Structure 1
Amino acid sequence: MLRWTITFLIIAVIAAVLGFTGVAVAFAGIAKVLFVIFLVLFVLSFFMGKRRSP
């Protein structure tokens, strides 16, 4: 999940540098959503793993 976030962020930066502002905004939005999903899943797995271990 984090790999996809970084990929979309890099594409957004490249598009912004080349002047494709609409595409850059779209890819940056996707990267933000994926990063939030990654954080939520990470926190959930962290706490669930703590609860199951003896």
Structure 2
Amino acid sequence: MGRLTDKVAVITGSGSGIGRQIALTYAREGAKIVVADFNEEGMDQTVSQLKEMGAEAI
């Protein structure tokens, strides 16, 4: 069980770079992730990566 289980994280700038890595790390710790970025393609990629690892993400 992760340290962030049953928590929701809204991560801005998570379409790439550091924001994406934070989203992936929080998801590994059990958080549900809300991805937010101006880069729509990057957001979609991040959400796909999160879902592939079994995380809940929008």
TM norm structure 2: 0.35
Q: Identify the structure with the greater strand proportion.
A: 2
TM norm structure 1: 0.37
Structure possessing the higher radius of gyration over alpha carbons: 1
